[in-house]
Amino acid sequence: MTKRALQRNVNPKSKAKSSTRARKPQRAGLVANPLLGRWSTPFGVPPFDKIMPGHFAPAFKDAMAAHKKEITQITGQAARPTFTNTITALEKSGRLLERVSRVFFNLTDADTNDELQRIEREVVPHLAAHETNILLNARLFRRVEDLYQRRNHLRLSDEQARILELHHTWFVRAGANLNKKAKARIAAINERLALLATQFAQNVLKDEQSWRLVLDGERDLVGLPPILRATAARAATEIGLKDKHVITLSRSNIEPFLQFSDRRDLREDAFNAWTMRGETGDATDNRAIVTGIVRLRAELSGLLGFESYADYALDETMAKTPAAVRELLEAVWPVAVKRAAQEREALARRARAEGGNFKIAAWDWRYFAEKERKALYELDDAVTRPYFKLDNVIAAAFDTATRLFAIRFKERHDVPRYHPDVRTWEVTDRRGSYVGLFLGDYFARPSKRSGAWMSSFRSQSKVAGNIRPIIVNVLNFAQSTEGEPVLLSIDDARTLFHEFGHALHGLLSNVTYPSISGTSVARDFVELPSQLYEHWLMVPEVLQRFAVHYETGKAMPQKLLAKIKKARNFNQGFATVEYAASALVDMELHGTAGNEDLDVNDFERTTLKRIGMPREIVMRHRIPHFLHIVGGYGAGYYSYLWSEVMDADAFAAFEDTGDVFDRATARKLKKHIYAAGNTRDPLEAYVAFRGRQPEVKGLLKKRGLLS
């Protein structure tokens, strides 16, 4: 998953709690603001050790004023619009605001505190208003419109033609063609939406931070493997509970607990807390916020001439229409439900065999699925984890990039960090030339929101010099006890490869204009580079070198590797149903809802009943905590599945050569996908790489849903 800083739209992030980084009483006005000055740090990294929360509000104020002045200079020109004096000038404008925004929103995602959250609630509406004012600036739009109408006579390069077309689209989609009354209403809606999205995300975080399950003694720990016990003991120690164990709502905590705990009553408690985030009935309840967001989005899309927000959101994606998305989801849904029913019966038999006189419930599924997996494939998480040491998986991801794209990674210890956990690598090409900087932030902590994502402190561009990217991967792996290595599950390792695929999309970017750099592509295309990269984790050459036992140093036995591959599609009915249900509800929410009487729980319940949601499975993200759709993925959660249609087909391009590191294929992949940003239509980019369009049949086969 990617996270973008302020570019074409303000996309408020979800946040976390206080960190160990110094948050001293603010005296920012007595010293120069480090956010506004020149950064003399290695690689131009933000001077994190000098930045305090109190610096942000004045920095945002100054940066917005500077950006406004730059826009006034563009619109105040007497000269007729040219590509250089309008589009290039636009691309060069707002760099200071972007710099401040990237630092701020990356911190509020990965290392926040109460003060940063307060500042965020205050500044986000102002940022939304600032951007709306630019996009609804009549004089500025007239210049863009003039160029757009003359575009066929301007002798533009392909990239220039693309960026002109996109700028025109962004202005029109923002409402630049509307009357003053409609523009004023759109401005008000954008400000309100920005604040509601921020409140929503902060509420989810507060719910995650406030809940804990205290385990007292062996009776509560029964079934939990040593690594989870150690993690739970560490969590208890951190909050001052001696000789206890604590399960938190971090996904790296909660999912293993549901998978291994023999205590059905505790699994039920934990599962309900996890699925009820944002729905507690108190100050952090998000249901009214969702109603407000959906209503405002419906009004916004109506003002812009669209039938629904789904129609509006999909208009600039590969899918184009809600009908196309539903066609994909409806092709997958019945196959997945059928497979999930077969899986449910197998789990029920397993439960009865162990004396379970009950129907399988949602909090039972992961528990009995783990038992079934172990019985069918003789595959145990405790056996596989020792072969996936975090440092080795990182090295495997780097080595794969070296073999595919001829880039190298050198760890640096002289670069400022926003948290002690962060690691930094300098990235160079085969000639030793600097490519960019990669930051890895791998461990869960209270100051970080849950999940995994890629973001950037600086994106690549050439319009104002050769600007090299600073990319960060943020994950939430459980810390090990002191002196012990961090061991990952297979799913954890796959997540690391996934996010590193996003990172490569940012690092390898080779475009001129920052607005189309790296991951600034269509939402249903952005997951292709990340999901494709996951495939290399299971390549034999990679596993033989890097999947070595952390104690013995011996490579993973071929028998174990064969079991892992054989079990690759185990429980895929469940996984596909919980994901696809979320995507279908997202599409319905933004396609049909929007009136004042929306009851979130009733809507979710009715929609799931209509599509035939299995009783034993819950949506992967229920509406009150569905951060994707409140943030940048509204009516777009389907995009992971859309991209998966392509990634299955794209990896086959390598397999067809007989060499999954085939150089010629890798060069085409880099040129047309990883380095190209948004320089061309995404389907054209894919066809340029693959030679044809992908087919959904490859997706079903990959997931094991089609024989």
For the question of residue 70 being annotated catalytic, the response is: no
Q: How many CB atoms lie within 10 A of CB 84?
A: 9
The one catalytic residue in 499, 534, 578, 604 is 499
Which parts of 547-599 fold into alpha helices (H)?
558-566, 572-592
Strand partners for 2 = 454
* Burial category of 545 from C-beta neighbours within 10 Å (exposed 0-12, middle 13-18, buried 19 and up): middle
**Which pair of tokens denotes residue 245?**
């164990």
Which helix (H) or strand (E) covers residue 269, if one does? helix 264-275
Q: Rounded to whole angstroms, what are the CA distances from 642 to 6, 523, 531, 645, 648?
A: 25, 10, 11, 5, 11
Where on the phi/psi map is residue 675: left (φ > 0), alpha (ψ -120 to 50), or beta? alpha
Q: Within 13 A of 307's CA, how many CA atoms are on the CB side?
A: 8
Instruction: Of 112, 111, 118, 113, give the one whose Cα is nearest residue 417.
Output: 111
Please state the length of the chain: 707
Please say whether the beta carbons of 683 and 693 come within 8 A. yes
Dig out the tokens for 87 from the structure: 């589009």
Q: How far apart are CA 93 and CA 105, in angstroms?
A: 20
Q: For residue 70, give both structure tokens.
A: 């730059």
Residue the block writes with tokens 């495939």 = 535
Beta bridge partners of 440: 423, 473
CA–CA distance from 128 to each of 83, 174, 176, 441 (Å)? Answer: 26, 12, 15, 29
| No. of helices (H) and no. of strands (E), the chain | 28, 7
Q: 555 pairs with which residues across the strands?
A: 548
Other Cβ atoms less than 10 A from the Cβ of 42: the count is 13
β-sheet with 423-428: strand ranges across: 408-412, 423-428, 434-443, 470-477, 453-458
Backbone torsion region of residue 483, taken as left when φ is above 0, otherwise alpha when ψ lies between -120 and 50, otherwise beta? left
d(CA 682, CA 520): 11
Enumerate the active-site residues. Answer: 499
